[in-house]
Structure 1
Amino acid sequence: MYFATVFLVLPICLALAALTDFLEMTIPNRIPVILVTAFLVAAPFSGLSLGDLAWHFAAAGSVFVVVFALFALNVMGGGDAKLLSAAALWFGFNASLAEFLILTAYIGGALTILVILARAHWLKLEFVGIRLPQTLMVANKIPYAIAIGAAGLIAYPSSPLVMAAIRNLG
């Protein structure tokens, strides 16, 4: 159960969040809830100290403060803010969190450019048979869970829970 939780929950949740955000421009609330719950289930078996676990919660709380401010300024969607905060819980306050957040920013920037280009060339894309969801054409909205998910999957192998699970396999 422990290994399945560590190795499957975060990747599956990130992929589902990216997919639903792309198709519907929404991230179901159950995805961040599952991420937090799965972390709480797996963390006691990971071998992380109470201090380490506190740093994981501090990381999630710090990310939440920043993304909540961005949400309040209408720069980021609420679902994206919840997803980013819940995913940060899995990374803790260390280099893997920095890697995750930096990758999210870079991939998010590239994604934003691609969405703007797709919107500008919508009719040309449809003419050549490329059909994108109508929700993607909503002005001022970017399906940022795609960037969060991609960055999370790239940084995931260096997360403390994964590293601990790999050590426990041997």
Structure 2
Amino acid sequence: MSAGLSTFLLMLLAALLLACCWFDWRSRIIPNGLNAAIALLAIPFWWAAGLALWPDIALQIGLAVAVFAIFALAFAIGAMGGGDVKLLGALALWLPWQALLAMLVIMSIAGGVLTLGFVVAGRIAGRTERPEIPYGLAIAFGGLWVLSERFLYQFG
């Protein structure tokens, strides 16, 4: 419907993902308000992108629920923080399934590199406790990567 509004909302999403990085890096917490804003801004994005209620928006909601449920299991076993799970669910509201899969792969690779860096830094510093990884950085990295493709590869 409105390419300008759609682009603006995607840029706003990118800014919110950067804010998630900052908060997660500083405090290891992604504020609920940021996750709620990302989730709620998907609604005007759907309208601006011209998505139909059925099946497009229903599919987005279904994907988000599935992603949230899968990563809630990771939270239940202590492998991921609650803010990370909420961020993944909120971000899934924005991405078509192909982009969502790409984002999850990129996030996983970035998360592995991030975790390795924290483990190595902890060992060098002589720490023996399990490091608390700001996984929101990896999630935001994957999200920003996928968002950037829309603008960088528009001629391909």
Q: Is the TM value for this pair above 0.5?
A: yes
- Which structure 2 residues correspond to residues 18-97 of structure 1 after superposition, within 5 A? 18-50=21-53, 51-92=55-96, 94-97=97-100
Deviations 1:30-61 (A, max 9, x none): 11100111111221121112211111111111
Q: Which amino acid aligns with 2:89?
A: S
Q: Are 1:114 and 2:117 an aligned pair?
A: yes
TM-score by length of 1: 0.78
Local SS of the residue matching 2:31: coil
Q: In the alignment, which of 7, 12, 28 is matched to residue 9 of structure 1?
A: 12
Q: Are 1:150 and 2:133 an aligned pair?
A: no
Local SS of the residue matching 2:93: helix
Q: Which amino acid aligns with 1:147?
A: A
Percent of aligned pairs sharing the same letter? 29
- Which structure 2 residues correspond to residues 128-167 of structure 1 after superposition, within 5 A? 139-158=130-149
What 5-or-longer segments of structure 1 have no aligned partner? 124-136
RMSD over aligned Cα atoms: 2.2
Aligned residues: 147
CA distance in 1, matches of 2:13, 2:142: 12
CA distance in 2, matches of 1:118, 1:18: 19
- Structure 1 stretches of 4+ moved >3 Å: 137-140
Local SS of the residue matching 1:91: coil
1:100–1:151 Cα contact (<8 Å) kept: yes
Structure 1 residues 138 and 147, CA, compared in 2 at 3 Å: closer, same or farther? farther
2:21–2:136 Cα contact (<8 Å) kept: yes
Structure 1 residues 65 and 49, CA, compared in 2 at 3 Å: closer, same or farther? same
1:56–1:89 Cα contact (<8 Å) kept: yes
Deviations 1:2-30 (A, max 9, x none): 24642322111111111111111111111
2:119–2:131 Cα contact (<8 Å) kept: no
CA distance in 2, matches of 1:68, 1:149: 18
What 5-or-longer segments of structure 2 have no aligned partner? none
CA distance in 2, matches of 1:85, 1:41: 17
Structure 1 residues 30 and 5, CA, compared in 2 at 3 Å: closer, same or farther? farther
Computing the radius of gyration from Cα coordinates, the structure with the larger value is 1
Q: Which amino acid aligns with 1:116?
A: V
